[in-house]
Chains A and B, each alone.
Chain A
Amino acid sequence: MAVHRRVRTALTTVVAVAVVGVLLFPLYWMVNASLQPATGLLQTPPRWFPVDGTLDGYRSALQSQGRPLLNSVVVAAGTVALTLALSVPASYALSRLRVRGAGVVMFALLLVQMVPGIVMANSLYAVMNQTGLLSTYAALILADSTIAVPFAVLILRAFMVTIPAELGEAAMVDGAGHTRVLWSVVMPVSRNAMITAALFAFLFAWADFLFAVTLNSDEAVMPVTVGIYRFIGAHTADWNSVMATGVIASIPAAILLVVAQRYVAAGVTGGALKD
């Protein structure tokens, strides 16, 4: 009986590995192609493994995409900073203070997440054009924050609602104001929720393509998503460098998955099931 059971769970694992293998095959294929010499990719039958691999693709990717990668870091970091600065106090107010109009703000935050990005891009282009912000880091940071802020407030508020009120009340009896309570009591307790919100703000900004391609025509501020897009257009035969760029652009996501697994899972569910 016990043996039978063990065989069955072992078989289940085998099936699971096979399923995951099939679903992740495109990623393997990206890594494989990134390590092949350019000529190796144009062979029949295809090379299934990167034997005689080369790092040429990575060399050329870093040469042409170094600046865009750096730009993506700047934009994503800026988005994280702005998002936290806006959403932490707002979540505190929405979760712990009885404020008039709080319901309206919550509803607005839910509703704006339904606005298609292309509409935002269209109108933000006009707005940024009038204010002279087009093709600046600020334009991309502000635009990317329109995706990140509503999401961050939902996650942070859902967490702060669960913090017992007594925690802050004790401090208030001692004469602390709301700013002090937020800073020294609520924020330290909310550290994990803040990390989750920050991770997602970073990922949203890092992955953004629509705003990057519409609000920016300057090579100097071009992020890596547009970098790859242009790269494919220009180097249709140079798939190994394209794939190497893809691998490099995926590194933040890979790091997140390894370092911050539980935050990621919390974010996916927390952001989706809003109530």
Chain B
Amino acid sequence: MPARIGFLAPIVVFLVLFFGYPLAANVAMSLREYTAASFYTGEAPFVGLANYAAVMGDPVFTTAVANTAVFTAASLLFQFGIGLALAVFFQRHFPLNGILRSLLLIPWLLPLVVSGTVWRWIFDQQYGILNQTLLGLGVIDSAVPWLSSTAIALPSVTVANIWVGIPFNMVILYGGLQSIPAHLYEAASLDGAGPWQRFRHVTWPLLRPVSAVVLMLGLVYTLKVFDVIMVLTQGGPANATQTLTTWSYSLSFGELDFGLGAAVGNLLIVVALLFSVVYLRGLRSSAPATARKRR
């Protein structure tokens, strides 16, 4: 009996101390005027929902929400689309298939700070390879300020983030494709289905559960992207790439108003949870399809 409790006790203590308590502390902080001074004086006056009101009344709020939505939607769409195309392509049998597939994993394994740094150099206005190539080919007549123009910075940051996420999507979707029984394709071929019809009527429906998992994880992950944006633009220029995550960071650790930062963070949790609930309900309603989950 004691052994059972002994095995689980450490992780329960860990969860309470390092998730339960911090999350409760974060809610408490968001209801107080919690500044750098609070850490020294220990005084943080209770202000109720004033931090939430202040945050939502701030013009940056609308920008951050819109940026988060655009950044997340575009990232998911392209990561998934490109990942799926690659997964389908690598289903073919050809020499070097395995090696090339594992090489594709590298971008996913690199620290995001490194990937961000590489893209910052690629996007460099004067010496970056992107502008140099486009100028050389005559596609553009003058250097594009990829990261310093308020109009283009968000798309640029999104491109870098899409690149980071492709391997993950590809690997999981490839695994999902492998679990589709080959005889279904053979049967479809016998019925005269072409490649597109086989994809449309066999691959796509049977891949649905795996696709749902990938998109859900991608969503939760993309909502909280921090490193890539920080390295490329720090949320600038003029908040053009500010998302809820980077804004929360700059309120807490830039302006040292931890109450405001906590409020934005909690709003972010609410968004993530909302999407999770929608996802879980969707999963339940398609239960027959998920019953044959791959293991």
Contacts and interface: CB of A to CB of B under 8 A. Distances in A.
Given A114-B272, A125-B252, A273-B293, A105 B129 contact: no
B248 A92 contact: no
A9 B111 contact: no
A268 B230 contact: no
B287 interface: no
Interface in A96-115: 97, 99, 101-102, 105, 108-109, 112-115
B276 A114 contact: yes
Interface string A226-247: 0011001000000100110010
A42 B122 CA distance: 13
A239 B110 CA distance: 18
B63 interface: no
Interface in A202-238: 203, 206-207, 209-210, 213-214, 225, 228-229, 232
Given A90-B7, A97-B4, A178-B7, A123 B262 contact: yes
Task: From B26, B95, B110, name the one whose CB has the most chain A CB atoms within 10 angstroms.
Answer: B110
B8 interface: yes
A49 interface: no
B140 interface: no
A239 B185 CA distance: 51
B181 interface: no
B49 interface: no
B245 interface: yes
A275 interface: yes
B22 A16 contact: no
Given A45-B132, A124-B22, A243 B109 contact: no
B97 A16 contact: yes
B291 to A, nearest CB: 11
Contacts of B11: 86-87, 89-90, 105, 149, 153
A214 B3 CA distance: 38
Contacts of B15: 105, 108-109, 112
B31 to A, nearest CB: 13
Interface stretch (A23-31, A53-61, A163-171, A190-198): A23-31
A43 B168 CA distance: 35
Interface residues of A, number: 93
A259 B8 CA distance: 32
Given A118-B245, A232-B117, A23 B96 contact: no
Contacts of B235: none
A254 interface: yes
B119 to A, nearest CB: 7
A114 B5 CA distance: 27
A138 interface: no
Task: From B122, B127, B210, name the one whose CB has the most chain A CB atoms within 10 angstroms.
Answer: B127
B165 to A, nearest CB: 12
Interface in A113-154: 113-127, 129, 142-143, 145-146, 149, 153
A4 to B, nearest CB: 14
Interface string B15-59: 100110111011001000010000100000000000000000000
Contacts of A29: 118, 121-122, 129
A243 B23 CA distance: 37
A115 B103 CA distance: 30
Contacts of B226: 117-118, 209-210
B184 interface: no
Interface string B281-295: 000000000000111
A253 B19 contact: no
B213 A23 contact: no
Interface in B92-127: 92-97, 100, 102-115, 117-122, 127
Given A13-B95, A115-B269, 6 more contacts: A114-B276, A117-B245, A123-B26, A213-B253, A257-B105, A273-B172
Interface of B: 3-8, 10-12, 14-15, 18-19, 21-23, 25-26, 29, 34, 39, 86, 89-90, 92-97, 100, 102-115, 117-122, 127, 129, 132, 136, 163, 166, 168, 171-172, 175, 210, 213-214, 217, 220, 223-224, 226-227, 230-231, 245, 248-249, 252-253, 258, 261-262, 265-266, 268-269, 272-273, 276, 293-295
25 contacts: A10-B95, A17-B100, A19-B89, A30-B121, A44-B127, A46-B129, A90-B7, A94-B8, A105-B12, A112-B19, A115-B23, A118-B261, A118-B265, A123-B25, A123-B26, A125-B252, A125-B258, A127-B21, A129-B39, A146-B18, A214-B253, A229-B231, A246-B118, A268-B171, A269-B172
